[in-house]
Structure 1
Amino acid sequence: SIQTTTMSASSIIRNVLITGSSRGLGLEFVSQYVHEPNTHVIATARNLSKATALQQLKTKHSNLTLVEVDVSSPESIRTALKSLPPLSLLINNAGIAHTYNGISNATADDLSITFNTNVAGTLITIQAALPALEQAHKEHGIRPVVANISSSMGSIQGVLKREVLDGKGAAAYRISKTAVNMLTAIAAQEHTDITFVSLNPGWVDTDMGRGGGVFSPPLKPAESISGMRAVIDKLKPEQSGHFFNYDGTQLSF
């Protein structure tokens, strides 16, 4: 159960759920949030036995709970997240870049595999977390935040202006992140007591960012994550449904 002994400590007032935490951006989110006062972090990973860095963090921080979740499986999400404590913040970070195929060679499988994790996984995670988010709002009078990790590669305006990779390639990934942005916008209209945002982490030096060693991204995870945390901390209710860069600038859909 996620309701650990840590949860009963009266000093713990903020529960933060972070998906896809075994490496990259998710691991850095966890590494930073566990150091915040009065914060309990619930971190998910597809395979905890392989999440060595996450397990090491757990040995050092009693305010960290690990939960095994496969975000490509709605059943896994619903089962694992059915007993959440009141939730102040959900970070939907889990995502994949299955291929970098462009329009001429992208396959139906590219789309379905990518959408299953990036879009359906995000949607089902929000559904599973909604009762806990609403509970935090009702019981603690706070306005919870759902931050969906998107990408400037999913910006239609960005593609038309050829801002990333000349607007070409990675069709399934780009389309999935455009869909995540629409999910954010719809959720903001349907759930007005919660702030929903899409965040662009920038081009970060992670396994995904390096594209299998093809690229050398300019941004370190610590800088990207500390930037996104600052954006989350400063959000105003009227910004719900919008898309922000890690440095706080608003991006075009």
Structure 2
Amino acid sequence: MTSLPEGFRALVIGSSGGIGSAVSEALRQDGRCAEIATLSRSEDALDITDEASVRDAAAQLEGEFHLIFCATGALTIDGVGPEKALKQLHPDAMMKQFALNALGPALILKHFATKMVKRERGLIAFLSARVGSIGDNHLGGWISYRASKAALNQIIRTASIEFARTHSQSVLAALHPGTVATSLSEDYSSGRKRFRPEESAAKMLAVLDGLQPEQSGNFFAYDGSSIEW
């Protein structure tokens, strides 16, 4: 991460997942990264859908960070996968998608944005998904997951406007990691090329490294291309 200061500090939330662990390892291999903190549900009992859990986790971290990478999210929750048709829509399943994929990141922003450096370059990234793009939706289906990721994108866009007032050198970004060989995509990627987690992590970190403050609040793919809302 050559755009960040020598000795930068990083935080990865969702570090026990396939992409989160790959991002964590990539940062550990970065000689410019002086310290990396990690948080996850399995290792730290962090529940991003519970504000008290998020607030307490943030309160336990000392100092400021130059990079926060939130790699949380799910496509299948409690055994319920994406809908193929309207008749499969279930209110409880839809609310769980919104809780994890939209509310959770919003709470992360609320309680962790204050941990970012103010007078140096800073980067905050959230895993989104191309299927959350309204303009790029040509196939239909997956209503709950698509809508929750579209909501996430709006949260990031809105937060970036407020964040720019106090962190003029920082960038907030929604990132599409590509189709990655993790448990999330295993049942839904037949016939599609899948990146290894470490490949996706390296590509996304490279994209982040090149973003400028005027690009904050936007939606990018792993190859650096912009994705329409």
User: What TM bracket, shorter-length normalisation?
Assistant: 0.7 to 0.9
Which of residues 41, 46, 51 in structure 2 aligns to 1:69? Answer: 46
The structure that is helix-richer by fraction is 1
- Distance, in Å, in 1 between the alignment partners of 2:195 and 2:141 is 21
* Matches for 1:208-223 after TM superposition, within 5 Å: 208-211=184-187, 217-223=193-199
The question of whether the paired residues in 2 share the 8 Å contact of 1:68 and 1:80 is answered with: no
- The number of residues matched between the two structures is 214
The superposition leaves residues 42-101 of structure 1 with CA deviations (integer Å, 9 ceiling, x where unpaired) of 1111122xxxxxxxxxxxxxxxxxx44121221111111113320111112111113211
Distance 1:122 1:217 in 2: 28
Provide the residue aligned with 1:86 in structure 2. Answer: 64
What's the CA shift string for 1:103-146, capped at 9, x where partnerless? Answer: 2211111111111111111011111112211xx21xxx312111
Q: Where does the alignment leave 5 or more consecutive residues of structure 2 unmatched?
A: none
Distance 1:213 1:235, change over 3 A: closer
The alpha carbon displacement at 1:155 in A equals: 0.4
Aligned to 1:245: 221
Q: Distance in 1 between matches of 2:158 and 2:227?
A: 17
Unpaired segments ≥5 residues, structure 1: 1-10, 49-66
2:122 aligned partner, one-letter code: P
Q: Secondary structure at the match of 1:209?
A: coil
* Higher RCO structure, 1 or 2 (CA under 8 Å, sep 6+): 2
Cα root mean square deviation, aligned: 1.9
User: 2:141 aligns to what SS in structure 1?
Assistant: coil
Counterpart of 2:111 in structure 1 is: 128
TM-score by length of 1: 0.79
Q: Which of residues 113, 125, 142 in structure 1 aligns to 2:120?
A: 142
Q: Which residue number corresponds to residue 200 of structure 2?
A: 224
Give the TM-score of the pair, scaled to structure 2. 0.87
Q: Write the deviation string for residues 155-198 of structure 1: whole angstroms up to 9, x where unpaired.
A: 01110xx2xxxx23221111111011101110111110231111
Shift of 1:214: 5.9
The aligned residue for residue 62 of structure 1 is none
Task: Tell me the residue number matched to 2:163.
Answer: 191
Moved over 2 A (4+): 211-218
Answer whether contact 1:209 1:217 (CA < 8 A) is retained: no
Identity %: 26
Q: 2:179 touches 2:189 (CA, 8 Å); kept in 1? A: no
Structure 1 pair 212–181 and aligned structure 2 pair: CA distance change class (3 A): closer
